[in-house]
Copies of this chain bind each other. A is one copy, B any other.
Amino acid sequence: MISSDVIRGYNDTIILYLLLEKESYGYEISKKIKELSDEKYVIKETTLYSAFNRLMKNGYIESFHQKQTHGKKRTYYKITGLGLQYYQEKCQEWKLTKEVINRFIKEEFL
């Protein structure tokens, strides 16, 4: 499993990636994360919803409601221009981070 301390800086990025594909809501996002990571990363509900709040506060996502015929009421989220910009920065940062951490990893242990 992946330790939460590593993913810590990338939960927001992961969520933004999925919202870039299409607008979505909490439960769906969490399913997608699990699926896309081959069950290797399952985000905790509280982590997810606190991430939504943070992303909202920063203006990286916006929420809205859609009329539904069935199922419980959902809060949908979509990414903003600012959010896209932030996502792009994080992609750059990730590249750098990978390179740096790799220098402290012994290949023979992989």
Residues of chain A touching chain B, judged by Cβ–Cβ distance below 8 Å, are: 2-10, 13-14, 17-18, 20, 36-37, 40-41, 87-88, 91-98, 100-101, 103-106, 109-110
Contact A104 B7 (CB under 8 A): no
Contact B2 A104 (CB under 8 A): no
Main secondary structure of the interface of A (DSSP, over half): helix
Choice from B18, B91, B105 contacting A91 with Cβ under 8 Å: B105
Copies, count: 2
30 pairs, CB–CB < 8 Å, chain A vs chain B: A2-B93, A3-B93, A5-B9, A6-B6, A6-B8, A6-B93, A6-B94, A6-B97, A7-B101, A8-B8, A8-B9, A10-B101, A13-B105, A14-B101, A14-B104, A20-B106, A36-B103, A37-B100, A40-B100, A41-B100, A87-B109, A88-B109, A91-B105, A91-B106, A91-B110, A92-B109, A94-B105, A94-B110, A95-B110, A98-B98
Contact B103 A2 (CB under 8 A): no
Contact A5 B2 (CB under 8 A): no
Residues on the B chain within 8 Å of A98, using CB:
98
